[in-house]
Amino acid sequence: MIGIKEFNKKITSLKNTRKMTKTMKMVSASKFKKAHKAQVSAEVYAQKLTELMSRLSNSGPTNHPLLKSKKAVTKCLIVLFTSDKGLCGGFNNNLIRKTRHWITENPYQYTSIGMSFCGRRGYMSFRRTAKINKFYENITMKPAFEDALAVATDITNSFSKNEYDEIYLAYNRFDGPLAQTPVIEKILPLDASAFIKTDVRHEVTPVKDAPKSQDYTYEPEEKDILYFMIPKFLNFKIFFTLLENAAGEHGARMSAMDKASSNTADLIDRYTLLRNRARQAAITTELIEIISGAEALK
């Protein structure tokens, strides 16, 4: 049976753990507030950008290389967005599990599946089994547009050079501080109709609400502006994904640390009760021994 000293050690250790989890929760809450603010601000820009792309996409077919589908699709690239650090619940594991399942479901469609990683957790999970294309270190904690531009440039070059026929993004879509949904979506080749049907987050927007291109006069021509905007749209899509990943990571870690603090408090109460019972049992045993010794001396 565990003694009183052992119980005291466990309780002291749990109290120290609770201090750490509470501190980590407060730090994550502060970081989440900043990340969420950046994500909300970017979402407003994303809506306006999508509206513009919707109008421009009505100008007719275009031969932009990023819109051209390959005749034979045999090679694809998955860009996986995870966190660099752990202790954020199932934030990384759910997405990694979904990505593995997606790869398992497509063993014959592609002869080669490459992977690029934004975030150390994804890289550590796939480094022994995946065909690694790129690993971008330390860009998910504090997203910067320069990092998004580097990722977008790399995948654009790979697609343009026919190194990959299709490119997908795998990330956690931010639905709230307590909810992140793993998503795998195709980013290249871009679908012109997607500009009308969806926004940057691929949330459905009624087609009838899309502005008509003939209601506007453009200088230069719509097609020229569309050619200029398509790479910008791709760059911002990557940046917006990084922002959603950061907001989701801090939200998940804040929730995980809150749950850890609650579980630690429950364990402290449980071990305190067991310690008190052990102390009471020890006192009772000592009293019985004293009484028995006194009776024996009579």
pLDDT at 210: 46
Domain boundaries, the chain: 29-253
Q: pTM here?
A: 0.81
pLDDT at 70: 80
Cα 172–Cα 183–Cα 149 angle in degrees, nearest 5:
70
DSSP 65: G
pLDDT at 226: 79
Count CB atoms within 10 A of the CB of residue 205.
16
pLDDT at 283: 86
CA–CA separation, 239 and 246 (whole Å): 11
191 pLDDT exceeds 50?
Answer: yes
Average pLDDT, the chain: 84
Domain 29-253 has CATH 3.40.1380.10: yes
pLDDT at 36: 87
pLDDT at 110: 86
pLDDT at 106: 73
Count CB atoms within 10 A of the CB of residue 92.
25
Three-state DSSP class for 182? strand
Mean pLDDT over 39-53 rounds to: 82
